[in-house]
Structure 1
Amino acid sequence: MNKSNRRKFLGTAAALCAGTAAAAAMPLAPADKKYPVVHHVFFWLKNPDSKEDRDKLIAGVKTLAKIETVRELRVGVVAQTEKRDVVDQSWAVSELMFFSDLAGQATYQTHPIHLEFIKNCGHLWEKVIVYDAVEA
């Protein structure tokens, strides 16, 4: 590589590194700023050792994304993080939803897709806890 090409390469690499560092330093806008109503649901399975039941529940929860007022949906399972007194790892599946407003969340509650989800998957869970919040 001649000196001119090497300088161009080093200059380009430095610019890419600087751009990457600047982008990494910029905070991402949290979803709750865009969608201030949060609906977080935790499910405990009747058969907690059944991967089949867990997968059915996950698939059912994912159908809820089709509801027009659901702005964002995330489905999760317990992360294998360190054991601490403040961490509850007793649940099996969680759904985290974001809505634009309380009216959208109310629409979701009575929507036919949500009611169908309960009908099709309600037999899978033993316990459900819901945490609803609005941005403070």
Structure 2
Amino acid sequence: MSTTNRRKFIATATTVAAGTVVASAMPTLIKTTNMTNRYPIVHHALFWLKNPGSIEDRDKLVAGVKSLGKIPTIKELHVGVVASTEKREVVDNSWGVSEVMFFADLAGQATYQNHPIHQEFIKTHSHLWEKVIVYDAVDA
């Protein structure tokens, strides 16, 4: 094989490989887009525990937040705790428990706020947290 043909072969193979990588990523990109189109309202709450060193309190709050998933207007629920990721200036890891909820519409989010399960959660778990910050967003 001549040097010119070898170079053309390598260039073509590289282009095909790059195209394959992009094509294989497409289902993931489409899935993410469909998720946000299906549930365009996002409710993210961060909880700071009164006793941040208490695993027992953290676990009680996690269980309480998970119980909110029984509310029918919550379409998706993710409950988390601080990850042991790289410490960087832009990372805030001062909170203890996180909830991310997805709603189909603003009416569903409003229903969640007034739902008896949510009201009971506040009544029975608010003694565990010192502070809560909520970020509500709609698809852009």
1:125 paired residue among 124, 129, 138: 129
Q: Which residue of 2 aligns with 1:83?
A: 87
d(CA) in 1 for partners of 2:69, 2:45: 14
Give the number of the structure whose residues are more often helix, by fraction. Answer: 2
SS in 1 for 2:43: strand
Matching of residues 38-117 of structure 1 within 5 Å = 38-117=42-121
1:11-58 Cα deviation digits (max 9, x unpaired):
xxxxxxxxxx89852225223221000000000000000000000000
- Percent sequence identity over matched residues? 70
- Calculate the aligned-residue CA RMSD, in Å: 1.5
SS in 1 for 2:28: coil
- CA drift of 1:113 comes to 0.2
| Matched residues, number | 116
Q: Structure 1-normalised TM-score?
A: 0.81
- CA drift of 1:114 comes to 0.1
- Pick closer, same or farther for the CA change 1:101–1:58 going to 2, 3 Å: same
Residue type of the alignment partner of 1:55 = D
d(CA) in 2 for partners of 1:63, 1:73: 10
d(CA) in 2 for partners of 1:75, 1:24: 29
SS in 2 for 1:27: helix
d(CA) in 1 for partners of 2:124, 2:90: 33
SS in 1 for 2:132: strand
Q: Structure 2-normalised TM-score?
A: 0.79
Gaps of 5+ in 2: 1-20
- Pick closer, same or farther for the CA change 1:24–1:60 going to 2, 3 Å: farther
d(CA) in 2 for partners of 1:54, 1:32: 29
